[in-house]
Amino acid sequence: MLYMNNGITYVRKDTKILFDPHKSVSEGIVCISHAHSDHAVPHKTKMLMTRQTLQISGIDGEVIEYNKKVQIGDDFITSYNAGHVLGSSQFMLDSGIVYTGDIRVEDSILFPGADILHADILIIESTFGLNHFEFPKHEEVCHEIAAWAKKNMDAGRIILMGGYSFGKAQELTKILSEVCDVVLVHPKIAAINKIYEKNGVKLGKYLSFDSDEAKEIMRDNFVAIVPTHMLNRKFVDAIEAQFSYPVVTGIATGWAKMYSFRNRGVDRAFQLSDHADFNQLIEYVEQSNPREVYTVHGYAKEFARQLRRRGFKAKPLSESTQRKLTDW
Ligand SMILES: [Zn+2]
C-alpha cells in the first residue's frame, strides 16, 4: 500500500517505510532524500540518509551509502545519486518502487545528473512539471552568470547574488570564484561550502563576510553571495549606503522562468535550477518505463496529465488528496 500523508508512506506486510515525512514520526523506517528543510526533519525512529545529508542536516540517523543494498524488513533498499544537491538520494526498493526525491537529470557544474532508475511504480517529483518550464542548458546559464558578473566587476560595481543557501549558493560560489579573486559569502553559506569541500567538491576561493580578510576585500568593489530571502531593496540600499560603489543584484532560481523578481529590486534573474525541467522529467519517466507513476510536489496534477497523454498510468499524490491508495 502506498499513500501520501506526511510524506510518502509505503506499507508491505510488517514493513512500513516513510519517505521524507515533514512532521516527526515515531514508528516505521524513515528515508530522508536530502537535507533541504522541507525533506529533512528529525524523527523518533530509525532514519536512513546518505553521509552527506547527515552532515548537512545535523540529524543523527543511520548512513546508507550510494549503490549499496540495505535490508528493511522483508524488502531491500538502495540509494542512488539524484543530482540535486550534495548527498541527494533517490531510493529504490527491490519490490519495484522508486522514489526520486528532488532530482536534476542534467550534469551540473558540481555533480553528475541523476541515475535513471527502472521502476515498476515510480514516485517522481514534479516541481517544474508544467510544459512552460524549459530551462536553458545548465552550462549556458553558468556562462551567462559569469559573463554578467565579470562585466559588472570591470565596471566597478558591487555584485550581490542571491541563491538558496544549500545547493544553489555552492554552484554560485564555483561560478563566481572563477570571475573574481575571492567571492564573499554569507556565514551560513560558508559553513555549507566547507561540507562540500570536505566531500571533495571543489568550489574555488571564497571567504565568509564576517572574516577580517573579507573586510579588506570590501574596501574595493566585490562579489558576494547571500541567501535569497536577504536580497531585497532595503538590503541593497544598506549596502550602497555602506560602500561607495554602485550595486547590481542577481538571483539564481528555476522560478526565473516565470518571475522577474524586479519587484524585489533584482536586476537579473537567471534560470539556474537544481531540479529537472519539464522535458527532463518526461525523459526520466520514459526511460524508467514504469507500470504506474505518482507525481509529487509542484505541478503534480499537470505533470500526471501530460504523462497520461503519453500513455502512462499516472496520478498526482498530494496532501490535499490524502490517502490516494493503491494496492497491487
Ligand atoms: Zn530540494
Q: What is the pLDDT along the chain (328 residues), one digit of tens a residue?
A: 888 889 999 998 889 999 999 999 999 999 999 999 888 999 999 999 999 999 999 999 999 999 999 999 889 999 999 999 999 999 999 999 999 999 999 999 999 999 999 999 999 999 999 999 999 999 999 999 999 999 999 999 999 999 999 999 999 999 999 999 899 999 999 999 999 999 999 999 999 999 999 999 999 999 999 999 999 889 999 999 999 899 999 999 988 888 888 887 899 999 999 999 999 999 999 999 999 999 999 999 999 999 999 999 999 986 654 333 332 2
Calculate how far, in angstroms, residue 36's C-alpha sits from the geometric centre of ligand 1. Answer: 5
The full DSSP string for 166-184 is TTHHHHHHHHHHTTSS-EE
Virtual torsion, Cα 196, 152, 208, 265, nearest 10 deg: -100
Residue 299, SS3 per DSSP: coil
Virtual torsion, Cα 178, 180, 181, 183, nearest 10 deg: -90
Give the number of C-alpha atoms closer than 13 A to the C-alpha of residue 271, restricted to the C-beta side. 15
Dist. CA 74–CA 204, nearest whole Å: 45
Calculate how far, in angstroms, residue 226's C-alpha sits from the geometric centre of ligand 1. Answer: 18
Q: What are the beta bridge partners of residue 130?
A: none
| pLDDT at residue number 319 | 62
Q: Exposed/middle/buried for 188, CB within 10 Å: 0-12, 13-18, 19+?
A: middle
Calculate how far, in angstroms, residue 283's C-alpha sits from the geometric centre of ligand 1. Answer: 20
Domains, the chain, ordered by start: 2-133+275-321 (3.60.15.10), 138-270 (3.40.50.12650)
Calculate how far, in angstroms, residue 162's C-alpha sits from the geometric centre of ligand 1. Answer: 17
Phi/psi at 47 (5° precision): -125, 135
pTM: 0.93
Calculate how far, in angstroms, residue 269's C-alpha sits from the geometric centre of ligand 1. Answer: 20
Calculate how far, in angstroms, residue 326's C-alpha sits from the geometric centre of ligand 1. Answer: 26
Calculate how far, in angstroms, residue 216's C-alpha sits from the geometric centre of ligand 1. Answer: 35
Report the helix count and the strand count for the chain, using DSSP H and E. Answer: 8, 19
Dist. CA 105–CA 207, nearest whole Å: 30
Calculate how far, in angstroms, residue 34's C-alpha sits from the geometric centre of ligand 1. Answer: 7
Shortest CA distance to 283 belongs to which of 129, 168, 73? Answer: 129
